[in-house]
Amino acid sequence: MIPIIRVARPTDNIQALLPFYCQGLGLQVLSSFVDHNGFDGVMLGHAVAPYHLEFTHRAGHVVGRAPTADNLLVFYLPDAEVWHAAVQRMVAHGFDAVPADNAYWDERGRTFEDPDGYRVVLQPAQWTL
């Protein structure tokens, strides 16, 4: 059995993140909630993927930006056409690649920064150990 992973993090503005992750990365809103024990949130992903991202906001709580430029989510896209389409979709929606903090990611991939300063790498490779 392969576990399903949820990557959850707080944000100061859920709505500001949605264009980046939905239009840019092509993720879908899987679920959302309002004022659940004082938190609002949204889960993004693909219905059949074994992962999803959750962004939450608690009223009156300030989160701030990513602590470093090396806070990454890496998506491995081994099919060259799929990778190219993903990069083009980001650019078409106004998200330009940024220089990676670790030059390794610039050798083949592209790094994009979300409105909170967290980064997503689109890596044209098969993940291996």
Would the pLDDT of 111 be above 90?
yes
Q: What is the pLDDT of residue 30?
A: 97
Co-location of 42 and 13 in the same domain: yes
pLDDT of 17 over the 90 cut: yes
Residues 56-99: tens digit of each pLDDT: 999 999 999 999 999 999 999 999 999 999 999 999 999 999 99
Tally Cβ neighbours within 10 Å of residue 64.
10
**Is 49 in contact with 71 (CB distance < 8 Å)?**
no
The pLDDT of residue 121 is 98
Same domain, 11 and 49: yes
Structure tokens at 124: 């044209």
Q: How many domains does the chain have?
A: 2
